[in-house]
Structure 1
């Protein structure tokens, strides 16, 4: 039997999933790595540690499934967006990998919003500290030594690929998420490059998602247990590949992914941007774009509540949190939670946003706070959905992926808030399957990207509760007005 591998290089871990051609998982392995905070607002990682983790994950997945290297058709790649490394002429990292969560370039982002707001209309990347464009301007302004010495400025995915193949290449969607790529012309944006103080030859060559790499280095080949001739397909970023891997491809089909953070996305046949700048829009292929919005605060809200309500010698499990929330009625008895624990991206793009419980009374207990936390994350996703609707995108059916899809309660909340059916796949590794399918398509094993719809093993479909939907509609009318109403007071608290 022949197998295809999906390799997903994420912010907190790298996952390797071995699939058969029908999308059934044969084996998988995940290798984690640290997020480093060398200074306030910094969020960095060791690029070489991520490279080792990627190789470890492939080797372990191969071993777990007793997969022979000659039975591997190819490897498709996915990665998180917005990372940035400086490398020298030998391709060695001379800086840490700066992640999307890094906040050091808040002032630079504000400068872009005030003076170069049209940059977003060309690039589709919101003007926010997550963007490599903002990071590079910070490096330039602060005379960051690795920036001054760099031969190239690349993402973590590009770094790993250079280590394995000696080739500086970047796919459309990772390039688009840099904030320096014109999604209308499908080329680097010269105005953005000037703002960053760099030239196009200091960036990688942009290639399509189907770009094939061969000649895996001897070290990587032996370490991973793959043949050096194994074709690697560059794929894309985790967002569009998650949509592809879950089957949310046609107009009206919306993917919702919630892991540590979260996102809601749709494919579109043309760039979707406007002056309000509420959502992102990134290229995926020459004629397909992904649009939507990310939230900083997904599963991290439950992690926070778990830590908050645990105590020395006793730690709550996520299952116990779900059980607590299930004891509370829809709407948490009038308690709302603004889930902005780590600032927020869409739809406000405010790195200084703060979380709040609204409507807290003495009759509320821990279980109300847990349920309100879960509902607040879904309201945040729903808020972004309204921005997509404003741009002409309907939400006819929802597809759920990520860790939250393992929670029957949380996915029911999603169905009830939207009032739509929610489709859940058997495997939650949708980005990996999207990457693997892109590889199959590139290698001529399947007829099209869209044909993946017949090869996604699905678990169940959740129906919305109409009564709960009505309650949530009333709650959301209050929710969406809260942050604009509180914003000035929260900024005053920040200054204090």
Structure 2
């Protein structure tokens, strides 16, 4: 007997993940492809969008072939997609990229454009129209950066994609984008009207045909014959529009009701609070939700899991890197406070609520007695302090937080999530399935093709498995350290900014002194 299922694929910063899910939410198979982003210059974070489709094809084939080898006669009823964002992937009319995709807020290249657009349009007008101030998270200034720095690429660009819409285009031939992703294209989207704002689109994205807008769970089209041959998915299977990964993560754990807060533990840390109205504050991001009728106030740290990966690679000394379980055990042994270490986790600048692309990582308290476990724990504690800073800002802006749900790869084991609960003083629910965004869009795909009255329930698909309760004594001790954490940025910001400026000057001098390429070589 055949088994109906949905396929979900998410394109993340460090990997792409796919999941095949039965109609009752049971995971039939998972698959992953690792990849790296490119950092051609300080502040530039890019990726070739062709990798996104290549990895989707590989994941789809692996999941479907694996299910059949396991004896499952699977029938794919629908496909869901999501990805990191907001990204700026510009392509010509034939779906050929004109340059690598510029990634979300971790890419800080467009600071000059952010400043100029803010002056030209007025900060109050930008917030009134788009919900948020222009920051490195906004896609609009990055489109302007391309026009100003790479005019030949801009001249060939006709369409704007993000990972989910790139996959939809390859699967169905449709050119669409979900409303949530569009709401992060500030200043091009009108948050109140739920549509592109034509005057500013014409001013800052001339020549671009902007995509048709749908909601994340809407069916965008069906799999074409060509895409079916490549992926193994039958022609005619519906494909939903999809959305940005963090919002798909929230769907995956049912955290999209008013008062819900999702905390995503990944390469970066992300927080999404669902609100009963549009809540605006300059240091956070106001968006529409993944689902129609929802609004959100969100925040994101530029690095979290990325720091732990960096430490793991750093301490390997060229040998085999220690495993995460080994490092977590050493971090647990280090104890609360990391034996006197305190870290600012701004290794790639910082997004919310600091909004400082020139912030950098800082570690204070180092002695010759400290080991890698202390450093590793200080990174976990630093990200927890960053979560608390974001939480305090969300609440101060008026967001109601009644329930916290944790999701993502960082929820494996209990140390990191326990540290976050102890630092914030908030309990966290951890669902049975923490696969994340790919599972969320598989659910949206199942919902899109469900018969009337037979809609799936995420509570049934993914019930709560654990609760991480804060320890009152640990919270009191962490609160004292948190005061120093907040003071550390203020005390070091001027020095850090001066060092960043010096590094830019040195990089410019080095580039100017470099020999010109020989005749016939590519510049």
Q: TM-score, normalised by structure 1?
A: 0.93
Aligned to 2:396: 390
1:42 lines up with 2:25 in the alignment = no
Match of 2:34 among 32, 35, 47: 32
Aligned to 1:76: 80
Flag the 1:96–1:312 CA change in 2: closer, same or farther, 3 A: closer
CA contact (8 A) 2:174 2:221 kept: no
Aligned to 1:155: 162
CA contact (8 A) 1:13 1:33 kept: yes
Aligned to 1:477: 483
CA contact (8 A) 1:172 1:208 kept: yes
SS at match of 2:193: coil
In 1, distance between residues paired with 2:454 and 2:322? 46
In 1, distance between residues paired with 2:128 and 2:314? 41
Match of 2:303 among 297, 301, 305: 297
More deviation in 282-291 or 229-238?
Answer: 282-291
Match of 2:193 among 181, 185, 198: 185
More deviation in 8-17 or 109-118?
Answer: 109-118
In 2, distance between residues paired with 1:212 and 1:133? 26
Map 1:109-120 to 2 at 5 A: 109-115=114-120, 116-118=122-124, 119-120=126-127
1:270 lines up with 2:287 in the alignment = no
Map 1:234-245 to 2 at 5 A: 234-245=241-252
Show CA shifts across 1:195-231 (max 9, x none).
42426x6110111223214442222102221111111
Show CA shifts across 1:450-474 (max 9, x none).
9422321433222221111111112
Aligned to 1:85: 89
Show CA shifts across 1:92-139 (max 9, x none).
222222222333212212333454323244223552234221111112
Match of 1:230 among 237, 261, 267: 237
SS at match of 2:242: strand
In 1, distance between residues paired with 2:82 and 2:451? 19
CA contact (8 A) 2:275 2:296 kept: yes
In 2, distance between residues paired with 1:246 and 1:305? 30
Q: Give the alignment's Cα RMSD to 1 decimal.
A: 2.3
In 2, distance between residues paired with 1:156 and 1:395? 30
Show CA shifts across 1:47-76 (max 9, x none).
222211111111111112228786222112
SS at match of 1:382: helix
CA contact (8 A) 1:182 1:188 kept: yes
More deviation in 393-402 or 47-56?
Answer: 393-402
In 1, distance between residues paired with 2:12 and 2:278? 25
Aligned to 2:472: 466
Flag the 1:314–1:239 CA change in 2: closer, same or farther, 3 A: closer
SS at match of 1:51: helix
Aligned to 1:207: 214
**Count of residues in Structure 1 that have an aligned counterpart in Structure 2:** 494
CA contact (8 A) 2:221 2:240 kept: no
Match of 2:317 among 304, 311, 318: 311
In 1, distance between residues paired with 2:117 and 2:454? 39
CA contact (8 A) 2:132 2:280 kept: no
Flag the 1:81–1:313 CA change in 2: closer, same or farther, 3 A: closer
Q: CA deviation at 1:366?
A: 3.1
Q: CA deviation at 1:413?
A: 0.7
Flag the 1:21–1:197 CA change in 2: closer, same or farther, 3 A: closer
Flag the 1:368–1:121 CA change in 2: closer, same or farther, 3 A: farther
SS at match of 2:97: coil
Q: Which runs of 5+ in 1 are unaligned?
A: none
SS at match of 1:81: coil
SS at match of 1:202: coil
Q: TM-score, normalised by structure 2?
A: 0.88
Q: CA deviation at 1:46?
A: 1.9
CA contact (8 A) 1:133 1:192 kept: no
In 1, distance between residues paired with 2:215 and 2:373? 48
In 2, distance between residues paired with 1:18 and 1:126? 39
Aligned to 2:25: 23
SS at match of 1:357: strand
Q: CA deviation at 1:261?
A: 0.9
More deviation in 244-253 or 52-61?
Answer: 244-253
More deviation in 328-337 or 466-475?
Answer: 328-337
Q: CA deviation at 1:194?
A: 4.2
Aligned to 1:255: 262
Match of 2:176 among 169, 177, 188: 169
In 2, distance between residues paired with 1:143 and 1:280? 30
CA contact (8 A) 2:343 2:362 kept: yes
In 2, distance between residues paired with 1:232 and 1:314? 41
Q: CA deviation at 1:40?
A: 4.4
1:375 lines up with 2:381 in the alignment = yes
Flag the 1:363–1:143 CA change in 2: closer, same or farther, 3 A: closer
Map 1:214-225 to 2 at 5 A: 214-225=221-232
Aligned to 2:423: 417
Q: CA deviation at 1:445?
A: 4.3
More deviation in 439-448 or 55-64?
Answer: 439-448
CA contact (8 A) 1:125 1:282 kept: no
In 2, distance between residues paired with 1:245 and 1:449? 15
SS at match of 1:476: helix
